[in-house]
Structure 1
């Protein structure tokens, strides 16, 4: 499969999570998951828990046609979201970001399963997956390094509405293989 044939909105299934293309009908479930102010403490958009702010964010995610709803299989509830995107400084590459999970899913296997599903899908067409994380989001930086990713560089990039500083991480297939063998 060629990189230009990459499916940005696949339906993926793991042992506890199902990822599906984000749709307008997912707004209520996504907002219910995102409505906790504690989720956004480390993010640049600290007020994303407010309905009017989240509405704008949700609309922008829908417009990309690259966003996924993260659904807990046992309950059928949306527990977060994530996206694939093309890094502006690496136009032939793939990145994963704009990820959030309800706090009940922090510190366990949920983020690892979510990223496993997305990373393995990305590796069908790409040899490296990128992650861009705000310098203040230490929790996400640590979680990304647990996947096997390494910090590559810092850059000012426009990933959404305005340029800002990002810590740029990369995860190769080889690094992923090592991190999976250490589980």
Structure 2
């Protein structure tokens, strides 16, 4: 599967992340409220975001979300092999400028990315910080179902972090999820 496709919707254009996207993407990411429920709650800091950005470039599955009407970079999302099972594909690391919250842009990004991934995989996974209720609600609104018993325990800055896993299957998607 091409993990850096160009995907186009009505309000969003997704394209591969490039090194020269740093300034515009960090302008979005430096908002502390984007990260307040995220396990890496200080990703708004330049040094922390720089590590995230460089990792995204190196991983090869990062996409930039461009708001088509304005041409402005609105956020980013990524495709990666799931570390819990590398035969599975994961969509994650998604963030959007608060000006695009509640506009349907996240739904459109997910619809485009899920449709692309399900052409190759029978399901798409989403690992979300257990306490990140905003992201959990967002994935549930687009048809994600919690995979019971599949969790990942880790740590950030010496604090425990637990991720839960959601899925959307090919049947869910063709059956009306994100329609």
CA RMSD of aligned residues (A): 2.0
Residue aligning to 1:53: 48
Q: Is the 8 Å Cα contact of residues 7 and 14 (structure 2) preserved in structure 1? A: yes
Q: Measure, in 2, the Cα distance between the counterparts of 1:61 and 1:119.
A: 19
Q: Find runs of 4+ consecutive structure 1 residues off by over 3 angstroms.
A: 160-164, 178-181
Residue aligning to 1:156: 152
2:124 aligned residue (115, 129, 134): 129
Q: Is the 8 Å Cα contact of residues 39 and 161 (structure 2) preserved in structure 1? A: no
Q: Measure, in 2, the Cα distance between the counterparts of 1:156 and 1:124.
A: 27
1:145 aligned residue (140, 146, 162): 140
1:89 aligned residue (84, 93, 96): 84
Q: Measure, in 2, the Cα distance between the counterparts of 1:85 and 1:161.
A: 23
Residue aligning to 1:171: 168
Q: Which has the higher strand share?
A: 2
Q: Measure, in 1, the Cα distance between the counterparts of 2:176 and 2:136.
A: 16
Q: Which runs of 5+ in 1 are unaligned?
A: 1-5
When normalised by structure 2's length, the TM-score is 0.91
1:71 aligned residue (53, 57, 66): 66
Instruction: Compute the displacement of 1:179 (Å).
Output: 3.7
Q: Is the 8 Å Cα contact of residues 147 and 179 (structure 1) preserved in structure 2? A: no
Residue aligning to 1:3: none
Instruction: Compute the displacement of 1:164 (Å).
Output: 4.1
Q: What SS does the corresponding residue of 1:120 show, helix, strand or coil?
A: helix
Pair 118,161 (structure 1): closer, same or farther in 2 beyond 3 Å: farther
Instruction: Compute the displacement of 1:50 (Å).
Output: 1.3
Q: Measure, in 1, the Cα distance between the counterparts of 2:157 and 2:32.
A: 21
Matches within 5 A, 1:23-34: 23-34=18-29
Q: Measure, in 1, the Cα distance between the counterparts of 2:114 and 2:169.
A: 10
When normalised by structure 1's length, the TM-score is 0.90
